[in-house]
Amino acid sequence: MADQTQPWAERTVEVPPQPGVGVPAQRDAFRRGVATVGQSRRTPRTEQFPTVDPADWSADSAPRRPVSWHLSQLRRGGEWSAAGGLFAFVCWGVWAISGRGNLAAPLLTFVLSLLTAVGLFALARLVGRLVLERQLGRVRRSARGAHLVTALFLVGVGVAYLQQTEWVMTAWNWVTGN
């Protein structure tokens, strides 16, 4: 029996040799306790990689991006459209309340203005795709330009609502002296 006063890590147990079980054959250049660092076990490549001409790419061979990537790209710059939409909404509210009538027709007018803004955004994205990506070969990483165009349109819509409000125009003319 082993000496129990020795720590367990220093105790050794003798195992008698077993028939049929031997030391496996070693690979050449193997040395016990020495790591093979920086030596490649693969044979080096001798053939060249084939060259790919981007002109040969078809629309089907281009890498597909997930829908989430496209949506995040569309969101970039959305604060411009949101600010323009808020301005148009406030101006529409001033115009609609000043009319002192039924809000169904003014609401329809505002919804049609928003749908026109969405169409303008889509048109700006299409023009950007055709001009920037196809003609100039640039990559669009956001929709800031289309959002800015949409915001400018919505600000123009808001100003048009204010111009149709009588008391706002009276105050404007008094301030400017016209």
pLDDT at 24: 60
pLDDT at 136 over 90: no
Q: pLDDT tier at 141 (50, 70, 90 boundaries)?
A: confident
Residue-number span of the structural domain to which 92 is assigned: 87-176
For residue 7, being part of any structural domain is answered with: no
pLDDT-above-70 percentage for the chain = 72
Amino acid type, 175:
V
For residue 20, being part of any structural domain is answered with: no
For residue 26, being part of any structural domain is answered with: no
Q: pLDDT tier at 17 (50, 70, 90 boundaries)?
A: confident
User: For the residues 1-15, what does the mean pLDDT come to?
Assistant: 65
For residue 92, being part of any structural domain is answered with: yes
In this structure, the dihedral spanned by the alpha carbons of residues 174, 175, 177 and 178, taken in order and rounded to 10 degrees, is: -60
Dump pLDDT digits (tens) for 147-166.
Answer: 999 999 999 999 999 998 88
Q: pLDDT tier at 44 (50, 70, 90 boundaries)?
A: low
Domain count, the chain: 1
For residue 32, being part of any structural domain is answered with: no
pLDDT at 22 over 80: no
**Crossing angle for the helix pair 104-128 and 144-163, nearest 10 degrees?**
150
Q: 161-171: buried (b, 16+ CB within 10 Å) or exposed (e) per residue?
A: bbeebeebeee
Q: pLDDT tier at 6 (50, 70, 90 boundaries)?
A: low
Per the CB < 8 A criterion, the answer to whether 149 and 124 are in contact is yes
For residue 76, being part of any structural domain is answered with: no
For residue 67, being part of any structural domain is answered with: no
**HSE, side-chain direction, 13 A CA sphere, residue 71:** 3
Amino acid type, 160:
A
For residue 81, being part of any structural domain is answered with: no
User: For the residues 32-60, what does the mean pLDDT come to?
Assistant: 67
Dump pLDDT digits (tens) for 84-133.
Answer: 999 999 999 999 888 877 888 889 999 999 999 999 999 998 888 888 77
